[in-house]
Structure 1
Amino acid sequence: MRRSCPLIGMLLFALAVHAQEHNFNTTYIKPADTLVEKKIEAWQDLKFGLFMHWGTYSQWGVVESWSICPEDEGWTQRRGPYSASYYDYVKAYQNLQTTFNPVNFNPDKWAAAAKEAGMKYVIFTTKHHDGFCMFDTKQTDYKITSPKTPFSSNPKANVTKEIFEAFRKDGFMTGAYFSKPDWHSPDYWWPYFPPKDRNVNYDPAQYPDRWNAFKDYTYNQIQELMTGYGKVDVLWLDGGWVRPLSTVDKTVEWQRGIQYNQDIDMAHIAKMARSYQPGLMVVDRTVSGEFENYLTPEQTVPKEPLPYPWESCITMGNSWSYVPNDHYKSANTIIHLLLRIVSRGGNLLLNIGPSPLGDYSDTAYSRLKKIGAWMKVHGEAVYATKPLAPYEDGPVLYLQSKDKKTVYVYVLSDDKADEVVLPANISLQGIALNKKSRIVLLDEPKEKIKFKTEGGATTLSIPSSLQDKTVGKYAVAFKITL
């Protein structure tokens, strides 16, 4: 992931975690390809996806690739026995390839846990900014299937292929995260010059042959992912500083450091990718235009619905990648995030970082199990829903079915308590019902809920049997048939 600090007023909040927040654009170009448009519509109905950041860096428990980036930011700090010298540190970091051996890797286990949690799509990091490939590329030996990597002798060494196959088998849409910058490539960070920051370390206009070699390298790797890994639904491109110079917005802090034109010809890449994967959603993060088919606010929840397709990518722990003894969000917090995002018309892409041995922490599995138990009751009030004003009013959230014939009203628990306790009456703003309307509490469907509508607002009368007692965990939902 890219680190930056947003200055956008529409954000409700930014999560106070070590993974920094993300600027996102406020413009959108609707795809001209009808297959892409249909895929986006289907994806928007899924609401809940799994993100995984995994690579050799998990062995050190550092912030993905960022510690080899020569920038003085909180998330790029080098620590440990090699930290005194940048070049010694990078050499040791790259040498992690020779010890990476995730012998507990079992993608079927991950897919089963994600499916139980109610997740419907997966995005996996095929390559992060460090350039280490978690797939069997033919373009470099810096990959998990290289003889230099101990895990290469494992039958499941091509982990991207194994993950995609396991998740597709369980009905998931699949997506390939791919970093446009590649700090291991000599055609991006040319060894002739020292790297100064996250950007290319030479002027591509002055050395066009070298830049064209990097463009070919990038194109060829994406072509491999589009042709050798089955059906792919999303090409999720990170590293938004690799972009045409004309698209740089100097009002955005992190973009001010982009000095050179880093155009990799997205039109050429997208055309190729869709020739193999018709309807492919391309997500060129933060680069507004026809190749950002949906937007990806990071660690943030918008205050109101956004006028384009979007997902919030948010960590389950404090870090995108594996950190020993990481602090994981509670099931209560995650479900509240999901509902707030869905009530604004977005999807939640929840990240879990696998360990060096190739598994999730027990805490992560526990969270997924608790979320799944809740989703079994409330799934119909999450999937394929649409925002409904006023979206959120205190502990009450509003959603509606796509045909607008059903309203779902959630009552959230306190942020510090799992249990939902209902008062005697609940006021619904802007909801007018009639005599034919019917209300069911999904958590207690046998109880009859009475209501009274006056002046365009409705008051629900909670039966005495449900008042001042726990009726569910995290959030309970009233299903209102209009």
Structure 2
Amino acid sequence: HMKSVLKHYFLLWVCIISTDVLVLADDSIKSQLEWWRASRFGMFIHWGPVSLSGHEIGWSRGDQVPIDIYDNLYKDFNPTNFNAEQWVKLAKNAGMKYLVFTSRHHDGFFMWDTELSDYNIMHTPFKRDVLKELADACKKHDLVFCIYFSILDWKHPDYPLGSPGGRTKKPNSDMDRYYKFLEAQIKELFRKYGPFGVVWFDGEWEAPWTDQYATNLYRLVKSLQPTVLVNNRVGKGRQGMDGITVPGQLGGDFDTPEQRIGRFNIDRPWESCITLCNQWSWKPNDQLKSLKECIHTLVKTTGGDGNLLLNIGPMPTGEIEPRQAIRLLEIGDWLEKYGESIYATRGGPFKPNSFMASTRKDNII
């Protein structure tokens, strides 16, 4: 008996020393994933000075909006009607359990009071720390606060590529120096605004971002807050818009299908991010999805064992468009009635198809 116990311990010891920090799914992450999966529905918010132009955040820089105009929009950004509590209450009334906000997108603009750059919200006429107000409102109203963070920064002189879509090159860039700048941002975010439910990375696909940088960043985040969830856009393993991680690649804690419902998967956690209109950031008269489409999307996502991160783009005034707010409240009304088929369920046993989806809880379908 003693021999088998020792053998058991020896095997355990071998497993421990051969398990890298990257794949060590400890209990804190398991319980975090349980919380996150049970939540099923979150709010994504894309917002910044770009809303003044009505064009897409990050991507329109140097495309629909000339670079020198885009980079100066912040001087006119004064969203005096911004009220973090109203946004958070709307998310709660929509039945959402967590909120993911664009702390910094591909355009390099900081939506927080940073010591690392003057290109930030405190240098706008508004002069208020949006990230702090949202973090505080989430805490007050018991909504889990999460941040979106772009790895690439097409504006920063040290990041080798410039927008749109990395078409321009910056000859005097220095990626190692840029990486140190990134680490400083992450440390500042955790120090001033943490803890977070999720750090939702993006902008990892360009060549300057390597496996080594990704591994270092992932380790840094987990050292700052071991319980935080990290999506698969931290590393190089994501396959296109289907968002599935290549086996063996650093994939964080969950996969990220974009603008589509992810494939049925009960083994690997996943979350579809989908816009309520067409654009991520606000565009006047953007096409709004019908209530029916929103409900079907939520049901099919949950039936496939995934989460839905539904995106809104607030207006440059700081308000959420009334028609978007109404749509969210309608989803909330539906969830009030039928939420037990969504929250704290798992997808299946039947795979979703065009006319039905199933979820299960214990032995109830």
What TM-score does the superposition give when structure 1 sets the normalisation length?
A: 0.65
Residue aligning to 1:102: 79
Is 1:272 aligned to 2:220, yes or no?
Answer: yes
Q: Is the 8 A contact 1:127 1:133 kept in 2?
A: yes
Name the CA distance, whole Å, in 2 between partners of 1:58 and 1:196: 17
Matched with 1:53 is 46
Q: Select the residue among 2, 25, 28 that pairs with 1:32.
A: 25
Which of 140, 150, 174 is 2:125 aligned to? 150
Alpha carbons of 1:322 and 1:293: their partners in 2 closer, same or farther (altered >3 Å)?
A: same
Find the aligned partners of 2:168 and 2:218 in 1 and give their Cα distance: 22
Aligned counterpart, 2:199:
235
Aligned residues between the structures: 332
Give 1:37 shift: 2.6
Q: For the Cα contact (< 8 Å) 2:262–2:270, is it kept in 1?
A: no
Secondary structure of the structure 2 residue equivalent to 1:64: coil
What are the equivalent positions in structure 2 for 1:371-390 lying under 5 Å apart? 371-390=331-350
Tell me the distance in 1 between the aligned counterparts of 2:140 and 2:33.
Answer: 21
**Over residues 115-141 of structure 1, what are the superposed CA-to-partner deviations in whole Å (9 max), with x where a residue is unaligned?**
011100111000010100101111110
| Cα distance in 1, alignment partners of residues 126 and 145 from structure 2 | 23
Equivalent residue number for residue 326 of structure 1: 286
State which of 268, 274, 282 in structure 2 corresponds to 1:308. 268
Aligned to 2:103: 126
Q: Which secondary structure state, in structure 2, belongs to the residue aligned with residue 308 of structure 1?
A: coil
Which has more helix, going by share of residues? 2
Whole-Å Cα distance in 2 between the matches of residues 103 and 232 of structure 1? 26
Unaligned runs of 5+ in 2: 1-21, 238-248
Q: 1:186: Cα distance to partner?
A: 0.9
Structure 1 contact 342–382 (Cα < 8 Å) conserved: yes
Inter-CA distance 263–130: structure 2 relative to 1 (3 Å threshold): farther
Write the mapping of 1:463-478 to structure 2, written as runs, cut at 5 A: none
The 3 A distance-change label for structure 1 pair 132 and 195 is closer
Q: How does 1:37-436 map to 2 (within 5 A)?
A: 37-69=30-62, 77-78=63-64, 89-146=66-123, 149-152=124-127, 157-189=128-160, 197-198=165-166, 201=169, 210-242=174-206, 258=207, 260=208, 262=210, 265-285=213-233, 287-288=236-237, 289-305=249-265, 307-392=267-352, 395-401=355-361, 403=362, 405-407=363-365
Report the Cα offset of residue 381 of structure 1: 1.2
Please state whether the residue corresponding to 1:317 is helix, strand or coil. coil
Sequence identity of aligned pairs in percent? 36
Distance in 2 between residues matched to 1:344 and 1:43, nearest whole Å: 15
Q: Tell me which amino acid in the other structure corresponds to 1:78.
A: Q
- Give the secondary-structure state (helix, strand or coil) at the position aligned to 2:68: helix
Q: Find the structure with the greater CA-based Rg.
A: 1
Q: Which has the higher strand share?
A: 1
Deviation digits for residues 222-265 of structure 1 (CA, Å, limit 9, x no counterpart): 111111003212111100224xxxxxxxxxxxxxxx4x564562
CA distance in 1, matches of 2:262, 2:32: 23
